[in-house]
Amino acid sequence: MDNAYDVVVVGGGPAGFSGALALARSLRSVLVVDAGEPRNAPAAHLHNYLGFDGRPPADLLAAGRVELAAYGVPVVAGSVTSARPQGDGFTVELGDGTTVSARRLLLATGLVDELPDVPGLPERWGRDVLHCPYCHGYEVRGRAIGVLATGPMVAHQAQLFRQLSPHVTVFLHDSPEPGPEQRLELGARGIAMVEGRVSGLEVVGDRLTGVRLASGTVVPVEALVVAPRFVGGSPLLDSLGLPAVPVEMNGQPFGDAVPADPGGATAVPGVWVAGNVTDLGAQLIGAAAAGLKAGAMINADLVAADTRAALAVLASMRAWHQHDHTRMFDADFWEERYRAPGAIWSGQPNAVLAAEVGDLVPGTALDVGSGEGGDALWLAERGWQVTGVDFAAAALARAAAQAETAGLTERIEWVHADVTAWTPPPRRFDLVSAHFLHMPHERLRPLFGRLADAVAPGGTLLLVGHHPRDRETTMPRPDLPVFFTAEEVAATLDPGQWAIEIVEARPRPAVDPEGRGVTIHDAVLRARRRDSVRSDNRQHVA
Ligand SMILES: Cc1cc2nc3c(=O)[nH]c(=O)nc-3n(C[C@H](O)[C@H](O)[C@H](O)COP(=O)(O)OP(=O)(O)OC[C@H]3O[C@@H](n4cnc5c(N)ncnc54)[C@H](O)[C@@H]3O)c2cc1C
């Protein structure tokens, strides 16, 4: 389990799994958290789901898990207790205190069946105490079926089960007397009515044999149909400001559900619902279909958000190239940029860092020019103890806030310093990493020298910059002597002390400010300080 996903799906029933599948197949990172109590679990078999009719309910979900695993979707056993908006997404809290972040949420938490208060009834639920003619009516066809009247749906239920058996009896229990029209309808179909309160069930050898009335009379039945109250709300939904509201069916109270549009979008931007939580009458295949639809809607919403973000990058690139670049070496310039609203960087680690550091055994790392903390957080998540340095206090504040959200405060120290006038402790770090630090060479060379000195024996120096050759592309670069090649930096390292591992101009696809594809190059230098003392740090992770 990572701690950031495109989508967290809460609930691993047919709705949640289908949504997760659609999202995974759209290359979205998805986490499913499931408390493992699907609504139909008490039933021995499921019905009316093509391909699975007559199979145990667990078979459908087991097949779903296998399919999700093939797409790398983790399904975590647990309960989501709350979720709250955070930035452009949500922070989701699990019952064990773990938090994960998600850009979007799909809540497929099902509903709770509140059963009538009759002793012994909950124990038989889903077996011979039933509610749904399509789920298990066929299995009791032709038998003696009781229908417990607890509300206005009783006549409707009795008529549906009458289609399956001529032996249907309505137990009026504590419901209001049926009106003359209802009595006539029930009588016309040969449905019997028994007055008196039901006080319990008769069970012989784990089979329902009758309904006991308060008078002591026992009426033989082999199945009892009830009308639970369907409750789609939960504290999790409340935590998001999404209370379930009363829903009617045929003008009669049906239960509580969370309102949503036909694609599952709720009143809270970024939150979708699918399945019984919003559609109390949805059966398995309908819940699955709704999950698929909501997954597709979420993907479309993320596509739109990604496009908006890409356009914003182009706009900021254009704005960037209109800046007076001679100011870009001043802290004030960056301070202003980081104080303006909106993230400047993607929040993702630099690609070269992810490619070149992923296999190092974590130790201490110095991230120079740490900006909004994308690299530092990525390193800390992988177990590095990180020092992030930047001369813009506003950048450090943004980075520290991200670290706090990710629960990484203990793993990162933020240092407010101008690295051109700051000397890191010598031989201190197992990794010193600087990406896209550009400044006049007379300042850059001594800085790189100090950064190299800070690398511990056996440690790694990773320096990455825009290659001077990029000036020949349509990617605008300031016309200043601030770029360097990896070869130029490698030449400054003493071969007696350094093993040069990578020195190259690494191509990278990019988009220029006009939205045109362009291949640019990164100058990449990775060098290891020779020394046997810490050579163990070079072990690669298996
Ligand atoms: C006894 C019975 C038998 C049924 N038989 C059939 C049948 O044969 N055919 C048919 O089509 N329909 C049947 N149904 C209806 C069927 O169960 C529902 O249509 C279906 O389960 C709805 O799917 P869902 O994904 O919305 O919810 P569910 O399948 O109920 O899945 C919801 C999941 O979310 C989890 N969850 C809830 N809250 C949280 C949380 N906060 N954090 C993490 N996880 C959470 C739950 O534990 C559960 O695993 C039956 C219903 C009952 C009661």
Residues 90-111 pLDDT 10s: 999 999 999 999 999 999 999 9
Residue 470 near ligand 1, beta carbon < 6 Å:
no
Residues 469-495 pLDDT 10s: 999 999 988 888 899 999 999 999 999
pLDDT-derived band at 344, boundaries 50, 70, 90: confident
| pLDDT, mean over the chain | 93
Q: Is 29 exposed, middle or buried (0-12, 13-18, 19+ CB in 10 A)?
A: middle
Give ranges for CATH 3.40.50.150 in the chain.
327-538
Taking 60 as the threshold, does the pLDDT of residue 464 lie above it?
Answer: yes
Residue 12 near ligand 1, beta carbon < 6 Å:
yes
What per-residue confidence (pLDDT) applies to 86?
A: 85
What per-residue confidence (pLDDT) applies to 358?
A: 86
Taking 60 as the threshold, does the pLDDT of residue 337 lie above it?
Answer: yes
Which one, of 120, 161, 118, 125, lies nearest residue 143 by Cα? 161
CATH architecture assignment, domain 4-112+230-305: 3-Layer(bba) Sandwich (3.50)
What per-residue confidence (pLDDT) applies to 532?
A: 53
Residue 343 or 311, more confident: 311
Residue 57 near ligand 1, beta carbon < 6 Å:
no
Vertex 91 angle, CA 311 and 385, to 5°: 90
Residue 236 near ligand 1, beta carbon < 6 Å:
yes
Q: How far is the CA of 312 from the centre of ligand 1 (A)?
A: 42
Residue 19 near ligand 1, beta carbon < 6 Å:
no
What is the arithmetic mean of pLDDT over 255-262? 96
DSSP state letters, 312-373: HHHHHHHHHHHS-GGGGGSHHHHHHHHHSSS-SS-SSPPHHHHHHHTTBPP-EEEEES-TTS
Residues 61-101 pLDDT 10s: 999 999 999 999 999 999 999 999 988 899 999 999 999 99
Overall fold of domain 116-227 = FAD/NAD(P)-binding domain (3.50.50)
What per-residue confidence (pLDDT) applies to 3?
A: 83
**Cβ neighbours of residue 305 under 8 Å, at least 6 residues apart?**
88, 103
Among 56-70, 335-349, 392-406, the range scoring the smallest mean pLDDT is 335-349
Which one, of 397, 260, 263, lies nearest residue 335 by Cα? 397
Secondary structure of 14-82 as H, E, C letters: HHHHHHHHHHHCCCCCEEEEECCCCCCCCCCCCCCCCCCCCCCHHHHHHHHHHHHHHCCCCEEECCEEE
Q: How far is the CA of 39 from the centre of ligand 1 (A)?
A: 3
Taking 70 as the threshold, does the pLDDT of residue 415 lie above it?
Answer: yes
Alpha-carbon torsion (447, 451, 453, 454), positive or negative: positive
Give ranges for CATH 3.50.50.60 in the chain.
4-112+230-305, 116-227
Q: How far is the CA of 102 from the centre of ligand 1 (A)?
A: 24
DSSP 442: H
Q: Which of 8, 10, 39, 107 to mutate to test the pocket of ligand 1 (most atoms within 8 A of CB)?
A: 39
Q: How far is the CA of 110 from the centre of ligand 1 (A)?
A: 5
Residues 365-398 pLDDT 10s: 999 999 999 999 999 999 999 999 999 999 999 9
What is the arithmetic mean of pLDDT over 35-49? 97
Taking 60 as the threshold, does the pLDDT of residue 130 lie above it?
Answer: yes
pLDDT-derived band at 536, boundaries 50, 70, 90: very low
Q: Which of 284, 285, 293 to mutate to test the pocket of ligand 1 (most atoms within 8 A of CB)?
A: 284
Residues 422-451 pLDDT 10s: 999 999 999 999 999 999 999 999 999 999
What per-residue confidence (pLDDT) applies to 160?
A: 97
Could you give the residue ranges of the DSSP H alpha helices within 209-282? 235-239
Residue 18 near ligand 1, beta carbon < 6 Å:
no
Alpha-carbon distance of 496 to 504, in angstroms, equals 21
What per-residue confidence (pLDDT) applies to 176?
A: 82
Domain 327-538 has CATH 3.40.50.150: yes
Please tell me the number of Cα atoms within 13 Å of 239 on its side-chain side.
15
What per-residue confidence (pLDDT) applies to 538?
A: 42
Place of tokens 């949640």: 16
Taking 80 as the threshold, does the pLDDT of residue 533 lie above it?
Answer: no
pTM over the 0.95 mark: no
